[in-house]
């Protein structure tokens, strides 16, 4: 993997872990995640006006936006049932595996032998971090989240290749996702809940939304330089940041099994870097 792609993915991983910490630590995860996405859409709307809507990738934007709306619901449901240290690794670790399997069917570029080794180490370490948790409650919601992650990343990996303007694609995607999410979350929680979340804690939600959209923009940038499955796997090093954040901010335990998982992930990243 090129150095520029690797650096972009590592920064994306840190930002993504930060976003998930904010969602998990909140009282109503669905409202928090939705408020972050909606504010991101508001921020990106002027960018869409400035750069123009990527008409050549319109079906990719709409498809990914619909899947990401379902992803927000699945993620919130998973966090309502289990710890961050279980949900995050299972959801994030299963996604790249599914993307890699999709590459065998021609849905994206296949990694080489070194790439497959790195993928196995990173995803194996990530999933082992999840199963080292004390409770495995919420496994179904976590795996569903992983499936949705694989679907929308695969859609966007193809979508960004349909337009030369990555910023326009990212801006359109977040704006469309926000538009699709608003009526669904209003039905689920009521308009007053969303207004209250945005008005009372808009700075935190905006920070989380910016972290999320910047993280994903970096992922899409890296996907132009390296196989999508490797990019997705490398970003899942975010689980290391999430595990540390869960321990530091949420009081979640890190034991020997999780420490071993971190070592395996580090080995996978080393293989990825050396194999570029």
- 276 pLDDT exceeds 80? no
Mean pLDDT for the stretch of residues 141-154: 85
- 222 pLDDT exceeds 60? yes
Calpha distance 2→226 (Å, rounded): 7
- 173 pLDDT exceeds 70? yes
Q: Which residues contact 276 (CB under 8 A, 6 or more apart)?
A: 1, 2, 3, 6
Give the domain range for residue 208: 3-274
Which of 80-84, 102-106, 153-157 reaches the highest mean pLDDT?
153-157
DSSP single-letter state for residue 26 = S
Mean pLDDT for the stretch of residues 40-55: 89
Mean pLDDT for the stretch of residues 38-55: 89
Mean pLDDT for the stretch of residues 96-111: 62
Q: Name the pLDDT band for 269 (thresholds 50, 70, 90).
A: low
- Convert 49-61 to b/e letters by CB count within 10 Å (16 or more is b): eebebbeebeebb
The mean of the pLDDT values for the chain is: 77
- 96 pLDDT exceeds 70? no
- 238 pLDDT exceeds 80? no
Mean pLDDT for the stretch of residues 199-226: 80
Neighbours of 201 (CB within 10 A): 16
> Count of domains in the chain?
1
């Amino acid at each position: 993997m090129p150095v520029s792609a690797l650096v972009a993915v590592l920064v994306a991983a840190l930002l993504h872990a930060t976003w998930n910490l904010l969602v998990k630590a909140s009282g109503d995860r669905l409202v928090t995640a939705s408020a972050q996405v909606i504010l991101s859409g508001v921020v990106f709307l002027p960018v869409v006006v400035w750069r123009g809507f990527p008409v050549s990738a319109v079906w990719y934007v709409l498809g990914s936006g619909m899947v990401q709306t379902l992803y927000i619901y699945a993620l919130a449901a998973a966090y309502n049932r289990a710890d961050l240290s279980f949900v995050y690794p299972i959801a994030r670790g299963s996604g790249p595996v599914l993307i890699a399997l999709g590459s065998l069917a021609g849905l994206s570029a296949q990694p080489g032998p070194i790439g497959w080794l790195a993928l196995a180490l990173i995803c194996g370490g990530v999933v082992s971090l999840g199963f080292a948790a004390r409770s495995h409650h919420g496994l179904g919601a976590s795996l569903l989240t992983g499936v949705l992650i694989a679907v929308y990343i695969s859609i966007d990996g193809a979508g960004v290749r349909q337009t030369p303007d990555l910023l326009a694609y990212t801006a359109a995607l977040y704006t469309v996702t926000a538009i699709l999410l608003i009526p669904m979350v209003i039905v689920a929680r009521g308009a007053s809940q969303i207004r209250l979340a945005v008005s009372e804690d808009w700075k935190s939600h905006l920070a989380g939304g910016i972290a999320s959209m910047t993280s994903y923009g970096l992922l899409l940038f890296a996907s132009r330089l390296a196989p999508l499955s490797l990019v997705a796997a490398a970003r899942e090093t975010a689980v290391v940041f999430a595990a540390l954040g869960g321990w530091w901010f949420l009081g979640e335990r890190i034991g020997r099994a999780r420490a071993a998982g971190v070592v395996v992930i580090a080995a996978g990243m080393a293989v990825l870097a050396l194999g570029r």
